[in-house]
Amino acid sequence: MDLSTHLTGSGSAEAITFDDLRGLRQDFTRFMLRHRFGMEEVVTKLHILRDEFALMHETNPIEHVASRLKSPDSLAEKIQRKGADPTWESISAAITDIAGVRVTCSFVSDVYRICDLLSQQQDVTVKEVRDYIANPKANGYRSLHALVSVPVYLSDGPVPVGVEVQFRTIAMDFWASLEHKIHYKYRGAVPEDLQDRLRDAAESAHGLDAQMEALHAEVRSLDDQGVSGLPDDVRAELRGGDDLVPSERLLDQLRRLAGEID
């Protein structure tokens, strides 16, 4: 598929016909549809994992799964910025997040665990992993990105489709959505002072993740030692229930517990 034949016809912009435009629109629809199907395949896989954890295990490492197809405007901007050749194949290769899935997890260890569980599936091919948790971006951005390919079975056979899966904790997601809003508000030219504060906030979010992970590990080891008799609501909260932010109530309960264990 070569976009340039549609875009320039016989070499000049004036040569575009309605048939060219119709063809281009059809090709674009087909192109985006494939990415939507690929995205839906990955979302289904993650929902299966989430539901299995929820029904069969006491903990659920997946908090939330969201997905989005890149908008035509955002896609056009990125094609231009990356200087991709005007063919569908080149665009697919250069723009890896046309189909995007975001998985929010409770703890950093869950982020890596769910990424592994998805990556190990037989029909998932991992093209690249970008670990912005181990190597955060200069602005403080943290997330684990897996660029995967999944087969989509169309009427004329299977086609591999690339999907970018972003795995993050709730704290990372909170930070990233705020940074995204600020970035757009200032159209990329974020004032230095705000950039510094965002970097500080990213470090605080990272600190919170580390604290939560440590608490979680401690409680798991208590469970492994067979310590019983914790009130149900405390167990639920410590096991990563609905409330993942360490509320005052949770901290009080922990203090109480610490006293009891001493």
In the list 22, 180, 249, 255, the residue contacting ligand 0O2 (rule: CB under 6 A) is 180
Q: Which of 41, 63, 164, 237 is catalytic?
A: 164
Residue 181 engages ligand 0O2 in binding (rule: CB under 6 A): no
Q: Do 96 and 164 meet the contact criterion of CB atoms below 8 Å apart?
A: yes
Q: What is the size of the binding site for ligand 0O2 (CB under 6 A)?
A: 12
Nearer to ligand 0O2, 8 or 195 (CB): 195
Q: Do 84 and 91 meet the contact criterion of CB atoms below 8 Å apart?
A: yes
Q: Is 213 a catalytic residue?
A: no
In the list 133, 176, 219, 238, the residue contacting ligand 0O2 (rule: CB under 6 A) is 176
1-9, 42-50, 176-184, 192-200 -> range binding ligand 0O2 (CB under 6 A): 176-184
CA–CA separation, 262 vs 259, rounded Å? 5
Residue 173 engages ligand 0O2 in binding (rule: CB under 6 A): no
Residue from 180, 168, 107 nearest 143 by CA? 168
In the list 4, 17, 44, 139, the residue contacting ligand 0O2 (rule: CB under 6 A) is 139
CA–CA separation, 193 vs 54, rounded Å? 43
Give me the least distance between CB of 88 and ligand 0O2, in Å please: 17
Indicate the residue whose CB is closest to ligand 0O2: 141
DSSP E strands: which ranges in 91-156?
99-105, 125-131, 144-154
In the list 25, 30, 137, 255, the residue contacting ligand 0O2 (rule: CB under 6 A) is 137
149: DSSP letter? E
Sign of CA dihedral 203, 207, 210, 212: negative
Residue from 166, 127, 117 nearest 150 by CA? 127
User: Which residues contribute to the site for ligand 0O2 (CB under 6 A)?
Assistant: 70, 74, 96-97, 130, 137, 139, 141, 145, 176, 179-180
